[in-house]
Amino acid sequence: MKRSFMLWSACALAATLPAQASEELAKKHACFACHALDKKLVGPAYKEVAVKYRGDKGAEAKLFESVKKGSSGKWGQVPMPPNAAVPDADVKTLVKWILSQK
């Protein structure tokens, strides 16, 4: 009984991520020019990114690099240009938010 209660609490915590604020960040940094949450535009849907990296402990670091320095050949022919002007803290928030998509 105790164990299932703890699991439940962990889920409740995860659900309190500030999703709204992160979406604003993605708008501010023009990520939505090429990405949408649940369909492919120029780049992959964020939900697909979350599925691809689910269970990958190094995902946050990898995606941080991809967003900051650009990425190519992982999702198709079109590369993502570097987003070097986006502050590190914002990139971290965005990556966490993308990986939390369901």
58, 44, 57: which is closest to 101 by C-alpha? 44
**In whole angstroms, what is the distance from residue 91 CA to residue 64 CA?**
6
CB of 5 to ligand HEC, least distance (A): 34
| Residues of this chain, 35-64, that bind ligand HEC according to CB under 6 A | 35, 42-44, 49, 62-63
Q: Which of 83, 93, 100, 101 binds ligand HEC (CB under 6 A)?
A: 83
Cα-based torsion angle of the residue sequence 93, 57, 14, 94 in order, rounded to the nearest 10 degrees? 20
By the criterion CB under 6 A, which residues form the site for ligand HEC?
Answer: 29-31, 33-35, 42-44, 49, 62-63, 66-67, 71-76, 78-81, 83, 86, 94, 98
